[in-house]
Chains A and B, each alone.
Chain A
Amino acid sequence: MSRLATKQLTLAYDRREVVRDLDVEIPDRSFTVIIGANGCGKSTLLRALARVLKPARGTVLLDGKAISDYPSRQVARVIGLLPQSPITPDGITVLELVSRGRFPHQGALRRESAEDRAVIERCLAETGLTELKDRPVAELSGGQRQRAWIAMALAQDTELLLLDEPTTYLDLAHQIEVLDLCARLHEAGRTVVAVLHDLNQAARYASHLIALRGGEVLAAGPPDRVITADLVERTFGLRARIIEDPESRTPLVIPAFRAGPASTAADDALPSEVTGK
């Protein structure tokens, strides 16, 4: 079952089409990761799924109905979004930031309710920020800061959570910190959709992968079926071997040593190494 899906979705900036006639489904309770080369339309797709970007043609469907037909606030109670580069206001504390995630549940005049406060406390605990709640966001480490932003999106208290490149600009330890958090949120029953750059991390954490190239879906499914040498070459133009990650038993992509750009002529000659099967 998929609450969130797209039908014949075409997305464009100005008049440049980035995604064409795309049909994707986000399986419920999955940790879906969208992968693909720079400029393939990953983030564009995510922004459209969160109804931040209006489609040029086609529709994003929420429970079978066009997402644009719902009041925006109602969508905000089902889908939470963490955009790629949100703005941190001067001097804002973790608690204040997370509180702003309660917006879709509040009226113009109503003050913070007991339920709001309970949800905020829970989100702080879930992201391990309870101790840091009175600290200014700007003073946190990169990983803590990203956790604070995720906590803000969590405070929307939604079943679906969309994260646009949540690990970009973080060092490796902080990337893992954030991905472990995403995995916990997924295990707690949420549907998590993320755009990631690192294929091996995608293979390790995702339950469902969507590989995009030039705005089209090349493959979709569980990582051990999707990640093949052939797919990596077609998606990134990179020759690679796939072995089993000794730590997580998921596919591990090893780029060919001093790989030149793969030529289409070499496509047929290249052995397709598939693991996990």
Chain B
Amino acid sequence: MTSALHRLRPALVCLACVVLGVVAALLTLNLGQFSGGLTQADVFVINQLLLPRIFTAVLAGAALAIAGAVFQSVTRNPLGSPDVLGFTQGASTGALVGITAFGGGVVAVAAFAWIGAVGSAVAVYLTARRGGVTGGVKLILVGIGVATILSGVNEYLITRANIIDAAAASLWITGSLDGSSWTSVTLIGVAVALLVPVLVLCSRPLRVLELGDDLATGVGLSAETLRVLTLAVAVLLAASAASQTGPVAFVALCAPHLARRLTRRTGPNLVPTLLLGAALMQWADYLSQHAIPDRELPVGVVTGVLGGGYLVFLLAHQRKIGRI
């Protein structure tokens, strides 16, 4: 029955994402290669390299995706994502400062990236705010402006850096899971565990806010408070993920779109988006390691190429059905 299928769709999408995620994890671990028993080196590779990498991919993908869903819902714009709103660039600026001025220690880079993302988000929000409210389009426009400025700053910082720092910075900006450690897993894990429930509880109010501020106020919501709260939580999540993996492009933009198409539901679709983001990131990472034999790519290259391609497809499709 079609209506039963329609009702079950979100649950089925969630289940499929979990299955895809588990399959990707098993492929990454490639346990078959250890058929002759585990050596000490194998145990080290699994415990200290592969498992943290898998968990970082899952958590960062989930965090970026749910943040993207919130940005898109709150700005009422399908382009609302950390890449467009300038937070990604802010994280990069922070990381560059950490690498060039503070020697590029893992903790320093992560901390500066985090500060950069949150700082640029606060700047975008305060600039877009007028008379106590922020419209969706204003946030996007201000975000694009801030993103452009920060991209310029980033270019400048790279040209000023010595060659080793510049290489490290470029890799960081692309987004990579190579440096994943249990520390990264813990940091993103704590952010996800604390912040995701807040957003999930806001699902229903967010759905109402999508109908417009006046209407949301009419049904008893405090529109601007909800917007500030959810944006802040989403920025913290995205910043925490980006501080560990770098700003992996397009996951935050694509996962909510894909989730909406797959579940055929309106609204932020937070839980399916979250699971889809985790699966996407894992598969992007698997592809980045295996797409070109003997040559590992940063995961950001794969998500960038796939995500960019998806965006082009989406725009072309929307054009065909007359939406734009």
A228 to chain B, nearest CB (A): 34
Decide if B211 is an interface residue (CB 8 Å cutoff).
Answer: yes
Is A103 a contact of B220 with CB atoms below 8 Å?
yes
B215 touches A81 (CB 8 A): yes
Q: Does B208 contact A (CB under 8 A)?
A: yes
Q: Contacts A87-B211, A103-B208: A81 and B266 contacting too (C-beta < 8 A)?
A: no
Q: How many residues of A contact B (CB 8 A)?
A: 38
Among A72-108, those with CB < 8 Å from B are 72-77, 79-92, 96-97, 100-101, 103-104, 106, 108
A108–B267 alpha-carbon span in the complex (Å): 16
A14: CB under 8 A from chain B?
yes
Query: What are the residues of chain A within 8 A of B78 when measuring CB–CB?
Result: 90
Q: Which residues of B contact A81 (CB under 8 A)?
A: 214-215, 217-219
| Inter-chain contact A72/B211, CB cutoff 8 Å | no
Which of B200-216 touch A at CB < 8 Å? Answer: 201, 204-205, 207-208, 210-215
Evaluate whether A91 and B217 lie within 8 angstroms (CB atoms) in the complex, with A14-B131, A85-B212, A103-B204 already known: no
B36 vs chain A, min Cβ distance (A): 51
Most buried by B among A81, A86, A103: A103
Chain B residues near A127 (CB, 8 Å)? Answer: none
Q: Is the beta-carbon distance between A89 and B211 smaller than 8 angstroms?
A: yes
Contact (Cβ within 8 A) B220 A72: yes
A91 near B266 with CB under 8 A, answer yes
Q: Flag if B218 contacts A89 (CB, 8 Å).
A: no
The answer to whether B76 and A92 have CB atoms under 8 Å apart is: no
CB distance from A253 to the nearest CB of B (A): 30
Q: Which of A19-27, A46-54, A117-125, A214-222 contacts B (4 or more CB under 8 A)?
A: A46-54
* B111 CB–A CB distance under 8 Å: no
Question: Number of contacting residues on B, CB 8 A?
Answer: 24
Task: Establish whether residues B219 and A101, one from each chain, have CB atoms under 8 Å apart when the complex forms.
Answer: yes
A100-B207, A103-B204 known; A72 and B212 CB under 8 Å? no
For A87, the closest partner residue in chain B by CB is: B212
Among candidates A84, A85, A88, A156, residue contacting B219 with C-beta atoms closer than 8 Å: A156
Residues of A within 8 A of B266 (CB): 89-92, 96
B195 interface residue per 8 A CB criterion: no
Q: B222 on the interface (CB 8 Å rule)? A: yes
Which residues on B sit within 8 Å (CB–CB) of A83? 212, 214-215, 218
Q: Are A50 and B218 in contact (CB under 8 A)?
A: yes
Interface status of B16 (Cβ within 8 A of chain A): no
Complex alpha-carbon distance, A22 and B298, angstroms: 65
Check if B12 is an interface residue, CB within 8 A of chain A. Answer: no
B52 to chain A, nearest CB (A): 34
- Shortest Cβ distance from B294 into chain A, in angstroms? 44
Q: Which single residue of chain B is at the shortest CB-CB distance from A108?
A: B201
Number of A-B residue pairs with CB-CB distance less than 8 Å in the complex they form: 82
User: How long is the Cα–Cα vector from A254 to B219 in the complex, in angstroms?
Assistant: 40
Inter-subunit contact A75/B220 (CB<8 Å): yes
Please determine whether B222 and A72 come into contact, CB atoms closer than 8 angstroms. yes
**How many angstroms from the CA of A103 to the CA of B218 in the assembled complex?**
10
| Chain A residues within 8 Å of B220, by CB | 71-77, 103-104
In the complex, B51 has a CB within 8 A of chain A: no
Interface hub of A88, A90, A96 (most chain B Cβ within 10 A):
A90
Q: How far, in Å, is A213 (CB) from chain B's closest CB?
A: 24
Q: Which residue of A lies closest to B73 (CB)?
A: A89
- CB contact list, B285-319 vs A, under 8 A: none
Tell which of A52, A85, A100 touches B208, judged by Cβ atoms closer than 8 Å.
A100
A52 with B217, Cβ < 8 A, contacts A87-B210, A103-B204 known? yes
Contacts of A84 in B (CB 8 A): 214
Compute how far the CA of A96 lies from the CA of B205 in the bound complex, rounded to whole angstroms.
Answer: 14
- B76 contacts A87, C-beta separation under 8 Å: yes
A50 / chain B contacts, CB cutoff of 8 Å: 214, 217-218
Bound-complex Cα distance A257 to B244 (A): 74
Contact B214 A52 (CB under 8 A): yes
- A108 CB contacts on chain B under 8 angstroms: 201, 204
The smallest beta-carbon distance between B31 and chain A, in angstroms, is 40
Within 8 Å CB of B260, what residues of A?
90-91
**Closest residue of B by beta carbon distance from A137:** B266
**Cβ of A110 to closest chain B Cβ, rounded Å:** 10
Q: How far, in whole Å, are A82 and B218 apart by their CA atoms in the complex?
A: 8
B108 on the interface (CB 8 Å rule)?
no
Q: With both chains docked as a complex, state the minimum distance between the C-beta of A151 and any C-beta of chain B, in angstroms.
A: 13
Extra contacts, 18 of them, besides A76-B220, A81-B214 (Cβ < 8 A), are A14-B131, A50-B217, A50-B218, A52-B214, A52-B218, A72-B217, A72-B220, A74-B220, A81-B218, A84-B214, A86-B214, A87-B211, A92-B266, A103-B208, A103-B219, A103-B220, A103-B221, A156-B218
The chain B residues found within 8 Å of chain A, CB to CB, are: 76, 78, 131, 201, 204-205, 207-208, 210-215, 217-222, 260, 264, 266-267
Which 4 pairs from chain A and chain B are nearest by CB? Answer: A81-B218, A76-B220, A73-B220, A83-B214
The interface of chain A, by Cβ under 8 A from chain B, is 14, 47, 50-52, 71-77, 79-92, 96-97, 100-101, 103-104, 106, 108-109, 152-153, 156
29 contacts across the A-B interface (CB closer than 8 A): A50-B214, A50-B217, A52-B214, A52-B217, A52-B218, A71-B220, A80-B218, A81-B215, A81-B217, A83-B212, A83-B214, A85-B212, A86-B211, A86-B215, A87-B210, A89-B76, A89-B211, A89-B266, A90-B260, A91-B264, A91-B266, A100-B207, A100-B208, A100-B211, A103-B204, A103-B205, A103-B208, A103-B219, A108-B204
